[in-house]
Copies of this chain bind each other. A is one copy, B any other.
Amino acid sequence: MKIAILGCGTVGSGACKLLIQNASEIAKRAGEEIVIKKVLARTPKKAYDAGLDKSQICTSFEEILNDDEISLVIEAMGGIDFAYDCIIKSMEKGKNVITANKDLIAIKGKEIFETAERNNVDIMFEASVGGGIPVIGVIKNMLCGNKFSYIMGILNGTTNYILTKMDKERLSYDEALAEAMALGYAEPDPTADVEGLDPARKIAILASLGFNAICTLDEVYSEGITKIESSDIDIAKHYGYVIKLVALAKEKNGEIVLFVRPVFIPKSHPLASVNDSFNAVVIKADAIDEMMLYGRGAGSLPTASSIVGDVMAIAKNISTKTTGKDPYKFYNTKKVVSVNSIDSNFVVRLDIADEPNSLANVTKAFAKENISIKTILQPIKEENQASNLIIITHKTKEKNIESAVQKLQNSECVRKVKMFMCFDSIDDI
């Protein structure tokens, strides 16, 4: 089987290296050799470094598109327009496609899947979520007997690295970010990571597969980690929690909640000990109960592992002439509901006015919205500091808290508010 790879950066070069380094094992498992015929490389040096020779490197996509020997194209460039164009054109030429491009799948998934179906080709994208963790195949194929309740994950290595450093080494957010950048975990522009956009794309993809209903990026509420202070981490620690940037897709009675946000997670929960740049996904479903997949969520070779897994599946389909026979099924129409209507415990931090009545006003306002308080803590105030109040609520909806806080702010009793969802027990979600 002859294949082409578009882009020879982190992911593309990893795919080349892995296909070369394990060529004989892969050929025996696939029952045939996988030949890298062409690699579209804008910077040829990267392709040489990945072990390719001159005859394999090309600089025009048309050369690949018009090569009828190439039956599979792997898109590893990233970006939207050109990548989309290459994918669609490849499929229209009868070529199967693998992509690592979560941005594209989370935005243009529908068009891409439909084009694949129309042209009887396979489209696979295991590498787009969870790097080396084969979560897409597990959800789509292996757990297909289950009804999923939720898929919850730590899906971004950069932010998990930052939060781990803030927690374990008491670094500030800026210090931890600087370290992540120095180590190459964070991109030169880390916005997509730290603002939660990257995990939002990934959870949109997992939700689409688990709930058999296309979910797009714009349906995911997303909040990043830029506002997390060391004092938040301290509060979490004090109460036995860890703060993690959690991506969640949850279904209940046909309604889906989709979000990425920092969450207080109990120390005993499996996700709480997922540290550094590791990723993990917890899946809750009716037959399996609870399952977790844990591993390297990014990086050259881990991501390449997922690509090669897809290559082998497509190789089998090509050899049995069954490509395009197992399309993604989005037969459900589900309603994405607002994140503030989900039932959960919350941690609320309030800067309250320095008046004797403040505390009473706050508790009254909460009671009025039927929010019942589990613990309340008023740390001893240091000089010139605002009076800080930390409330952990019993299960309620965020909109109830928002409404209570709104009224307190109107009456100038509360000046600043910060709120975290808090998964007190796994059943909360």
Residues of A within 8 A of B (CB): 14, 18-19, 21-22, 25-26, 28-31, 126, 132-134, 137-138, 141-147, 212, 270, 273, 285-296, 299, 301-302, 304-309, 311-313, 316, 319-320, 322, 325-326, 329, 331
Contact = CB atoms under 8 A, between A and B. Distances in A.
A305 B287 contact: yes
Nearest to A142: B134
A288 B296 contact: yes
Given A287-B301, A291-B294, A320-B325, A311 B145 contact: yes
A302 B289 contact: yes
Contacts of A304: 145, 287
Contacts of A299: 289
Nearest to A294: B292
17 contacts: A18-B287, A25-B212, A26-B145, A31-B329, A132-B287, A137-B138, A137-B142, A144-B309, A145-B304, A270-B273, A273-B273, A287-B302, A287-B308, A293-B293, A316-B325, A320-B320, A322-B322
**In the assembly, how many copies of this chain are there?**
2
A359 to B, nearest CB: 39
A312 B287 CA distance: 15
Nearest to A15: B145
A365 to B, nearest CB: 40
Given A29-B329, A292-B292, A320-B325, 10 more contacts: A22-B147, A28-B212, A31-B329, A143-B305, A145-B305, A145-B308, A145-B311, A291-B294, A291-B295, A322-B322
Contacts of A311: 145
Given A29-B329, A287-B132, A291-B296, A145 B320 contact: no
A144 B312 contact: yes
Contacts of A291: 132-133, 293-296
Contacts of A14: 287
Most buried by B among A14, A25, A273: A25
A294 B291 CA distance: 5
Contacts of A147: 22, 25
A313 B224 CA distance: 39
Contacts of A26: 144-145
Nearest to A291: B295
Contact of A29 (B144, B292, B312): B144
A289 B296 contact: yes
Given A291-B133, A291-B294, A308-B145, A326 B316 contact: yes
A137 B136 CA distance: 13
Nearest to A146: B305
A288 B302 contact: yes
A299 B289 CA distance: 10
A99 to B, nearest CB: 16
Nearest to A135: B142
A320 B325 CA distance: 8
A28 B211 CA distance: 12
Contact of A295 (B18, B144, B289): B289
Contact of A146 (B22, B138, B145, B285): B22
B143 A309 contact: yes
A15 to B, nearest CB: 9
Closest 8 CB pairs of A and B: A145-B308, A291-B295, A134-B142, A287-B305, A132-B288, A292-B294, A287-B301, A320-B322
A213 to B, nearest CB: 12
Contacts of A19: 145
A171 to B, nearest CB: 20
A21 B146 CA distance: 10
A291 B294 CA distance: 5
Most buried by B among A29, A137, A305, A311: A305
